[in-house]
Structure 1
Amino acid sequence: MKQDLSLLIQALDSSISGIILTDNQQPDNPIIYCNRAFEHITGYNRQEIIGHNCRFLQKEDRNQKERQILRKAVEEGNECVVEIRNYQKNGTLFWNELYMSPIKDEDGNVCYFIGVQNDITRRKKAEQELLHQQEIMESQIRERTKSLRESEDYLSSIVQTVRESLVVLNPDFKVLSVNDHFLKTFKVTKEETEGKLLYELGNGQWNIPKLKELLENILPTNNPVEEFEVEHDFPHIGKKLMLLNAHRVELEGQYKDRILIAIEDITDRREIERRKDDFLSIASHELKTPLTTIKGYVQMMQRLLPENVSEKFKDILKKTGLYVERLNTLIAELLDVSRIQTGNIELHTEPFDFDKAVYEAVENIQSATKTHQIIIRGKGSNNYSGDESHIVQVVNNLLSNAIKYSPESGEVDVYLSRVSNFIKVSVKDSGMGIKVEDHKKIFDRFYRVGEIQQRFPGMGIGLYVCDQIIKNHGGTLWVESEPGQGSTFSFTLPLERNPNDK
């Protein structure tokens, strides 16, 4: 039996079609298996796929009628075939021919679904080109190309006004042109630059190992390079920290095979960020000690209250303790941000009962709130190796947010599950929801959605800290939400971690 299963997995991994299994017995029908071809087709790795619903492949393209067909087939337990627009991890569109079939148990209940996927982008492209009269389109493209060539001087003047250093290279890395911003930033002239090999400029000041890696190893894969960070100490102008965006431009005629590099000098910006982080770190540490003392005095006053003290005084003292505790939590989060930015956050990894820790966290939050009912269901694992306090911190933060941002809803759902060799935790609220374009941004530090910022106080660091904690455990944290439809925050954690994973 074990040999047959191993042979089956080998066969599936050898298939050129992408194959997935989803668990219809769990909420939202999460993916529990994918073969190597599916990873190759989508550009995602297994860690980023397991636990998600298949809809994440459509990204913001949510209005396709094929999604309704798939949803209906899942609800009715039927098979179906659709051709749907999907997007790879890097954002590239590909057409997916999906064959989906239910897997039923002995009683006829649908337990799982199997999906077989093929990339039919080329076929769809050919069909679309025929439908839109290929000859007419090519004629229009030729006319536009001619127009662009005639406007070369105009475009060149625009390039010169860009407040980024721009460099154009030929395939042998010889400089064909640079804009004025490059000349001013690196204190060189056109005569010293154009026509010269990039690595030989300024007595070898551009002979930078990381730049060579970009040009000679990464860029030839035909993928654009974005925000490639390079730090170098240049003669005469000093140390520079730069973000490089590089594209290989392939056109016809005299502009064939060009490499365009945009260089953004972020030296000053990074220094400002460093000073801000230093300030936050110092301020947080300096506030921690007096706040601890204040907290101690408030607790002492609460214990030593005379019997005849007024209810108003008791209420004031209780509120004081509450606000001191909130301030203490905020300072703790700021310290976490500081440790993350400096790379000093430490994980104390030990085995613990994961389910018990989550249930206790829910119980503690529930005892502190009278406005919401927290419903927890499912099981993940009784034995997980990680930093228990940090994991509980993530759960507490997600629960607190669910309560905070859904004031008119009286219920929060928490679901624990085991998805393949991952633990999955989901926290669902019925609050105001989040726009699709903000889904990734909310995990950036100090980022707050406009409408939320107006209605609810906060600094926008809680989700950033949660995201970093989950990443440090080798997992992923994401949100599924639409305005007015509430939000579901989920994270997965691998039960077995590769020692090389970060």
Structure 2
Amino acid sequence: MHVNQQSSALSPLELKVQTFFELSEDLCCILGSDGAFKALNSVWTDCLGWQPEELRSQTWLALVDPQDTPSSQTALKSCINQKRYPLQNRYRHKDGTYHRCQWRFSATPDGDIYAIGKLATASPALETQVKLYHQALEATTCGITIADLHKPDYPIIYCNRAFEQITGYSQAEVLGQNCRFLQTPDTDPVAVEQIRICLREGISCKVILKNQRKDGSIFWNELSISPVRSPQGSITHYIGVQTDITHRQLVEATLQKSNEALAMRVETRTTALRKLNQRLLTELVGRKRAEAALQESEARLRAIFERATIGICRLDLRGQILESNPVMQQMLGYSEEALQFREFTDFVHPDDARTERTIYEDLADAEIERYERELQLFRSDGKGLWAHLTVSLVKDDGGEPSFAIAMIKDITERRTAESALRLTRSMLDGAAVAAFLVSADGRILYVNETAALSLGYRRSELLRLRIHDIAPDFQPEVWAEHWGMLKEFGSLCLDSQHQTKEEKIIPVELTENYLLFQGQEYVCIFALDITEHQRAEAEARRALLREQELNDLRSRFITTISHQYRAPLTAIHSSAEGLGQYGHQWPVEKRELHVRRIQVAVNQMTQLLDDVLTLGAIESGKIPFQPILINLGEFCQQLCEELKGDRELQRSQPENEAYPYPVLPPIRFTQAGDPTAVIDRHLLRHILANLLTNALKYSPLGEEVHFHLACEEEFAIFTIQDSGLGIPEADQPHIFELFHRGSNVGSLPGTGLGLSIVKKAIELHSGEIELISQVGVGTTAIATLPKC
């Protein structure tokens, strides 16, 4: 309850105690034996923001920092036995923050506990300096963390806003964790082991790690860690400086003096209790401890300044260098004394100095708070270097500009590499072959104009694709295996295929080279369109095959012609010799018989020669295709009459092995439909004559050959059916090939050219032919020709 609530019921002595209780400027309260508040003075509202009514339902321990709860419980228990007990802990303000307090406890005979507390404070000078360091750290663009080596697993006890921006985590999510929470399964174990060695041996190190932000995105983190030692030389903390170097924005670790706000406002109201020596002693001890903490924090920040891996200097508002760290001195080749009080622009290239001076004046006037730029600097030896400069303004407690922190990163090597890269890209852009730069996961990172033109894409479109989108042979699972081979051999040359935007397939010859640049893996691919090359190869193969076929054809032609000419020449020679020697003795009938034999032999030789010439003309394309309007019925009737004359001639031939059917069968011709058509008369004669001759030749005595003409609206269909030998099934696929004859024809005369001529003549008409044959039953030939 509040002390004033029972003032009317108190004795004069108790009223004096109560008045003294309220006059105190320290935190005064009375606790029950269970630690619950029984009475509080108004200082609780002034110092910690609590109204007494709000705390009467609480216990004194409920507002203690959880880390200080065990020691505070011990203090309360010990107080009951020892009557009085001093304690220092962190106590919660109503706004949720914790403030360091000194307590004194005294137990009463009735079991209550009197508690007097005072907020710890520090000197204004130290307080201002800590704020200055904190502002400097918060102003840097590099992530800064501080890990406490006194606690298990080295938890982070501080991180700045830049660390939150780089990682995406808030300070509340970071504090208390070990820095490894940013690592991924792909983080380099060698780098992680190097950090462990550094922590174990108490040394500094610098590594590059593959880390993961809160949103799951990956970034490359250049991490520098350094130990912070106490005045006694023991390592108390480790400072971590993180730089996001994902896109070569080499923002180096900043050294800004920072520490958690140690400055707590201390109410210095003086009361009669100040006369108590013990309270004065306690206050003095508290102040000394706060000063020691500030000095320790300053030492840590100074260590960061001195051991940073980038150049850092402090500038006044005129741009003069007030102090510089060793890295900056080494970078510019000057001593600390030589740099002090020199204007920073004295070391800037004249092309950049005027701009730099103008921008810095805007910073000093607080028109801007920070700026970044890349510029050229001069060393003491006259050599130039490229630097990435970050300048941040630091303000005092009143919000007025105080000084600036400049951070300098040597990027000469990067700028040189970029120049070389631009030259290389210019060369690739002008190359006559398609060029690609592809990442390990198949993303297309660069293409030249030749590649874009060959595939029908814009370059911007190709940069949104992956390699399997334009190379069907490199699907993701295949690309992974191919990448392994490429890393093993370094370069590969192979034939593949590319697919254009219109899904056209282009054969290409690929030359691939594996590249490793700044820890990243790439493959540079040059693609040569080999469409014409393959077409030339195919033409050469076809020409070679054609040459081989012609050689085979020539050999078979000579053999066949020699064989086919031998029989009629022998007949001519025999009959001519007989007529010459014995003709005057032979009767007229016998002489006429030999004369007819000579005529038949001559006709056979003439027909063979005609077939050869016709086939040669068709093969060479020299035979003209001259369709004219004809009456197909009359044409077929006339052809049948001509073949009948040949039958009359052969009917007089004696039966022998070469002619098993000396009397050729008759032809029965029928027709249906309109017989007019536009067809090449000469080629049609070759088609029908060969088909009818074959039907007559292989049909037995007494069997008719059926010849039917069916004229439809668009086609003329010629059907010729015999009852002859039939074609064996094994021979049917080859029956239209040159010089091929059925295996069952025996000694029947023939060249094997007729059906080849038929097939090619029908193809000239864009027609079709079909043979249906069965051995011992006969053959049906169906030729279909367009009527126009």
Q: Larger C-alpha radius of gyration, 1 or 2?
A: 2
TM-score w.r.t. the length of structure 1 is 0.43
